Structure 1
Amino acid sequence: MATITVCVPVYNSSIYLKDCLESIRNQTFTDLEIICVDDGSTDNSLEILKEYERMDSRIQLIVQERNMGVGVARNIAIDRASGKFMSFIDSDDFIEPEMFEELYNKAIEKDAEIAICDVNLYTDGGRLNKRKWFTPIEGKATPETLYKNTQPTNKIASLDLIRREGFYFLEGNSDGVYVDLMVAAKNITSVHKPFYNYRIRANSLSSEFRVKNIQESVASCKLLLSNCKDYKEYYEFKLIEALLQLQMVSIKEENHNTYQEARKDLKALQFKKNTYLYSLLKKEHSAPVFWAMINILPRNYYVSSILLRMLR
């Protein structure tokens, strides 16, 4: 039984896959179980995975005949995992050599169920992106520390916590559901170093803003809201944020019906009464843009369309 189970879901990432696997294999913390799930790749990712499985006895390869999505791939690894902690690494990213050693030591020192580290964001061209994707947490998570901080890839989480909560990812590209695990954790700790390197790929699932993708996010947010035990207003805020994004993408794709459906949902939520709209979302935008987002975007398809064209 290894101390840390590492899950690597793989789908058509052959360009970056070797860098990812080498960064995991070369960790200073070596007691790893590495579960790679090929999710129906059509490039040569599977051949690379087979090569590394032969090379490193810690690697277990699971092959899915057809693409089922990153959520399903991660859940397969959760069922197979045997480590004390579990980590999720995307196959087009890479990690620094000390990541697992420092996260594990900090988790043990602080008796924490989740340990998180800072993130470097890189564009396809290798340029460092200044956007922040990390807020340190010590103790219980709060809505303020959860916001834009729930991706699973820069963390280790206790497998006992995962089992206790019956945690699984939703199908599709559903990193945001990790918020449930973070809310449930009794104690979270942080390492203030950028050990996780995330690539912002132009053609990756996480960077594609399409109606279908945002509809999946809305569905996830609705499910999380219906099941939440704590922080109901925060979960509601995340649904509001997803609905506003859905409206914006619907306008860009000239999908009036989807825009109207999102408008009805926002009205039913009485979204302007949500306090996190002002304490969290407002900080992300200039005052004029925020005003337009909550006053024009949810109400007027045609005026919003003109404004979005002006901002391109």
Structure 2
Amino acid sequence: MADSSNIALSVIVPCYKVEKYLPKCLDSLMSQTLQNIEVICINDGSPDRCIDILHEYERRYPGKVVVIDKPNEGVWKGRWDGIARARGEYIGFLDSDDYVKPDFAESLYRAAKDSGADIAVCGFDRIDLETGKTLSREMASARNSFVIDDDPGRLIELNGAPWNKCFRSETLKNMRNLTNPPTVLDDLAFHLLAYCDLHGKVVFVPKSLVCYMVRAGSIINTVKRSQVESIFAAFLEIREYYENARPDLLHTLDAIAFLHLGISLIFRLSSTPGEDVRKDIDEMTEFLDSYFPSWRSSEYMSFGYAAPRGGALMKLLVVQKVYKAHLMPMFLSAYSFMIEKLNVDIKW
């Protein structure tokens, strides 16, 4: 049984229609080398056997597995319910169809605790669910830690998923919420809300500790046009938070908005049958220019800033130049060809 007075890490696991994968996920968490953890599982009104599986693990691991059974309200609300229940010094996340290495919890917690960091980030493997083949290994190279207030541009380097990170618990428990969370890019919106209240250190664990399972046909995730408005509304609410609470991070926010809206979202729209890509780009450019204007001349997308830091920042600099030269349709076509025909995916 986990000692409720000394829980190092709470791991939140939302569950919906994953009965086939859930046992492997939970087994990996029950096999962690760090003993004083708790695993908070949110059964989000799942219509399959998820709740039965969760109760079984709850009986086998009393106090270590905590089950929240609730009507279906989506992963956003479930995540907040888990945060409210969490007792750990740090909070991490895991998707219920993925699994982790035995030292996942200990590596993230020790890295954060030993350096007094607000966030610890580890690497992960993207694995084909059917073949077991590793498609890519990401965020696993050695990187220097940084202090957000000293070098906020490096937040751009962080991937937008919460499941390869742990966050200081008090930050998440006091974090702002959104009136209308987006149906797409909700993970990124969650990160941006967290960044708004963070000033301290981000540290990296240079090894792959998460096995992220990629299902057939999900390499390119399309977006429906009807979902874009909810994304825009969420980003405008986030922008307002930053203007009031963290004006020092506005240029960082603008660069992240360009990366995830101007590049990633446009790419996903371009993969949706029947979309007018040029019209989408024009509308996105107008939105970015109106509400995230420093993306065009951001210091974080300059050669002087990106070159010594490399990686995602250099790639972002290149694509910004492509975008400003009105060459995005050609770039998107080439990018789609690389993924679909050559099985090469450049992560941004």
Q: Is the 8 A contact 1:87 1:157 kept in 2?
A: yes
1:166 to 169, 175, 192: 175
The 5 Å alignment of 1:134-153 reads 136-141=143-148, 142-153=152-163
Name the residue aligned to 2:346.
Answer: none
Counterpart CA distance in 1 for 2:335 and 2:25 is 40
Residue type of the alignment partner of 1:181: A
Name the residue aligned to 2:274.
Answer: 254
The 5 Å alignment of 1:236-255 reads 236-241=254-259, 242-251=261-270, 252-255=272-275
CA RMSD of superposed structures (Å): 3.3
Q: Answer with 33-42 or 267-276: which moved more.
A: 267-276
User: Identity over aligned residues, as a percent?
Assistant: 22
Name the residue aligned to 1:63.
Answer: 69
Counterpart CA distance in 1 for 2:208 and 2:237 is 32
The 5 Å alignment of 1:87-106 reads 87-106=92-111
Q: Shift of residue 4 of structure 1?
A: 1.8
Q: Encode CA deviations 1:27-61: one digit per residue, 9 max, x unaligned.
A: 11121221100122233322222222222212121
TM-score (norm 1): 0.81
Q: Encode CA deviations 1:222-257: one digit per residue, 9 max, x unaligned.
A: 333322213212211222230444444445433457
Structure 1 residues not aligned, in runs of 5+: 299-303
Name the residue aligned to 2:136.
Answer: 130
After superposition, the Cα gap between the structure-2 partners of 1:109 and 1:276, relative to the gap in structure 1 and judged at 3 Å, is closer
After superposition, the Cα gap between the structure-2 partners of 1:76 and 1:307, relative to the gap in structure 1 and judged at 3 Å, is closer
The 5 Å alignment of 1:1-312 reads 1=4, 2-57=7-62, 58-66=64-72, 68-124=73-129, 125-130=131-136, 132-133=138-139, 136-141=143-148, 142-163=152-173, 165-168=174-177, 170=181, 172=183, 173-176=185-188, 177-182=190-195, 184-202=198-216, 208-211=221-224, 212=226, 215-228=229-242, 229=246, 230-241=248-259, 242-251=261-270, 252-256=272-276, 261-268=283-290, 269=292, 271-277=295-301, 279=306, 283-284=314-315, 292-296=322-326, 304=329, 308=333, 312=337
Counterpart CA distance in 1 for 2:95 and 2:332 is 36
Q: Shift of residue 155 of structure 1?
A: 1.9
Name the residue aligned to 2:342.
Answer: none
Q: Is the 8 A contact 1:247 1:263 kept in 2?
A: no
After superposition, the Cα gap between the structure-2 partners of 1:232 and 1:286, relative to the gap in structure 1 and judged at 3 Å, is closer
Q: Is the 8 A contact 2:127 2:213 kept in 1?
A: yes
Q: Shift of residue 260 of structure 1?
A: 5.2
Structure 2 residues not aligned, in runs of 5+: 338-348
Counterpart CA distance in 2 for 1:310 and 1:154 is 26
After superposition, the Cα gap between the structure-2 partners of 1:167 and 1:151, relative to the gap in structure 1 and judged at 3 Å, is farther
Q: Shift of residue 26 of structure 1?
A: 0.9
Q: Shift of residue 20 of structure 1?
A: 0.6
After superposition, the Cα gap between the structure-2 partners of 1:274 and 1:70, relative to the gap in structure 1 and judged at 3 Å, is same
Q: Shift of residue 3 of structure 1?
A: 2.7
Q: Answer with 89-98 or 113-122: which moved more.
A: 113-122
Runs of 4+ in 1 over 6 A off after TM superposition: none
Q: Shift of residue 79 of structure 1?
A: 1.0
Q: Find the residue that maps to 1:130 and give its secondary structure.
A: strand
Q: Is the 8 A contact 1:221 1:238 kept in 2?
A: no
Aligned residues: 303
Q: Shift of residue 133 of structure 1?
A: 3.5
